[in-house]
Amino acid sequence: MNSKRVVVTGLGALTPIGNNIEEYWNGLVAGKSGADFITRFDASKFKTQFACELKGFNPLDHFDRKEARKLDPFCQYAIVASDEAIEDSQLDLDSLDKDRVGVIWGAGIGGLETFQNEVLNFAAGDGSPRFNPFFIPKMISDIAPGMISIKHGFRGPNFTTVSACASSANAIIDALNYIRLGYADVIVTGGSEAAVTIAGMGGFNAMHALSTRNEDPKTASRPFDKTRDGFVLGEGAGALVLESYEHAVERGATIYAEIGGGGLSADAHHMTAPHPEGLGAINVMKNCLDNAGMTFDQVDAVNMHGTSTPLGDIAESKALKEVFGDHLYSMNINSTKSMTGHLLGAAGAIEAIASILAVKNGIVPPTINHKTPDDQIDAKINFTFNKAQKRDVRIAMSNTFGFGGHNACVLVKKME
């Protein structure tokens, strides 16, 4: 079977630094931090009292009150971001063959707030099993693509990928492959997460995974800095409309970029820690290049997983040196998590979007909050510290790694 080319024709974003694509991109280029003190609940007794929350998001701006009550925030975010991407794509929904339009979504956790609140309500009661009838459908992670398909009548492939922080990158790669193989013409893909909750913050604090820089939240996400002390939890969604090249051209669509390939691998090492030599990261980047039919010296930029954890940043930096050799020193490397925080299952989507827009606009967003070099990380690597850099980016890669050793890498190409 001949493999079809796959292109990006629509984008949507709901992030801690912007509630649509334009705001998100402007925030990235400006080096805006999305971190601040938590407003959603009283976090004064938590070791970490800050996160990258959405700002100014009101579900009633997008849903009526009755509908909003039926949807966990992660699903609300998915619908809002996907609506923007679909509108951006200028798909004619009336003439579209909806049997050949799918939705493949990513979520690492799903309806955490719903689960948390139902359990808290039960524990506060008299022991009677009184649960909301929407408890289960609000909580399950596959409800997001289900609701997107119901809203628009898309009857093609429909499911959620769950691979922790690699979830939405996995979703993009699955969407790529379904279109490549001819099983769909169009797929709405991406991911969403809403884990800035009592349970989310408490759970990650118990793991010692989060930064505790409560005295200066905006600079807490500091990838590759010697003083980094953990990641900053984020929330939101990113959405992409992928199409076969032929389908996009036939309808005269505006094309952002081509999805050239995707790679997957496993660390097979530890429940939460990365392989110390970056073995899984090495394999996933090599697999991605092979899948795209590209060589390492053709890559201009990599948006790293770069979570700002002590072990992870070192392991991934080692992996880059192994994959790219001396070519690494002529590339732009960055971590947009320095601005957005870590959106867990939505990270792969918003970071792939950052790479797509870097290719389209010829600008690499910065890695902010860097002050102190780490002698365990090669100082000759251009991490695009603190200020965006203009560059003709023809090929970019985006890395996402998840607890359990799940690794995914997406390669984006400028349209020829």
Tell me, what CATH number does 390's domain have? Answer: 3.40.47.10
Last residue of a domain, one of 223, 250, 277: 250
Does residue 47 sit within a domain? Answer: yes
Give the pair of three-digit tokens for residue 235: 């929330």
* Averaged pLDDT score across all residues of the chain: 97
For strands 406-413 and 395-402, give the pairing.
antiparallel
Q: Which of 275, 342, 370, 406 is catalytic?
A: 342
Q: Is 198 helix (H, G, I), strand (E, B) or coil?
A: helix
**CA diameter of the chain:** 66
Residues 6+ apart with CB under 8 A from 124: none
Residue-wise pLDDT for 126-155, tens only, equals 999 999 999 999 999 999 999 999 999 999
Domain count, the chain: 2
Check whether 1 has a pLDDT greater than 80: no
Does residue 165 sit within a domain? Answer: yes
Q: Is 328 helix (H, G, I), strand (E, B) or coil?
A: helix
Asked if 242 and 359 sit in the same domain, the reply is no
Check whether 54 has a pLDDT greater than 80: yes
Asked if 405 and 295 sit in the same domain, the reply is yes
- Told to judge if 75 belongs to the known catalytic residues of this protein, a careful annotator would answer no
Distance CA 274, CA 402 (A): 9
Does residue 198 sit within a domain? Answer: yes
Q: Which of 275, 305, 370, 406 is catalytic?
A: 305
Q: Which helix (H) or strand (E) element contains residue 265?
A: strand 257-266
Asked if 343 and 307 sit in the same domain, the reply is yes
Check whether 332 has a pLDDT greater than 80: yes
- Told to judge if 269 belongs to the known catalytic residues of this protein, a careful annotator would answer no
Residue-wise pLDDT for 356-387, tens only, equals 999 999 999 999 999 999 999 999 999 999 99
Mean pLDDT of 385-407: 97
Residue-wise pLDDT for 208-239, tens only, equals 999 999 999 999 999 999 999 999 999 999 99
Last residue of a domain, one of 202, 223, 250: 250
* Strands across the sheet containing 6-14: 158-161, 101-106, 186-193, 236-244, 6-14, 257-266, 406-413, 395-402, 301-303, 332-334
Asked if 217 and 284 sit in the same domain, the reply is no
Residue 173 belongs to domain spanning: 7-250
- Told to judge if 370 belongs to the known catalytic residues of this protein, a careful annotator would answer no
pLDDT at 416: 80
CB 379, CB 373: distance < 8 Å:
yes
Does residue 1 sit within a domain? Answer: no
Distance CA 219, CA 365 (A): 16
Nearest to 345 by CA among 172, 119, 217: 172
Of the pLDDT bands very low, low, confident and very high (cuts 50, 70, 90), residue 2 is confident
Q: Which of 165, 247, 275, 409 is catalytic?
A: 165
Residue-wise pLDDT for 283-295, tens only, equals 999 999 999 999 9
Last residue of a domain, one of 224, 250, 276: 250
Asked if 316 and 185 sit in the same domain, the reply is no
Mean pLDDT of 44-57: 98
Check whether 84 has a pLDDT greater than 60: yes
Distance CA 364, CA 373 (A): 21
Asked if 308 and 188 sit in the same domain, the reply is no
Does residue 136 sit within a domain? Answer: yes
**Which alpha helices (H) appear in 7-142, and where do they start and end?**
21-30, 65-69, 73-89, 112-124, 135-139
Residue-wise pLDDT for 155-201, tens only, equals 999 999 999 999 999 999 999 999 999 999 999 999 999 999 999 99
Of the pLDDT bands very low, low, confident and very high (cuts 50, 70, 90), residue 12 is very high
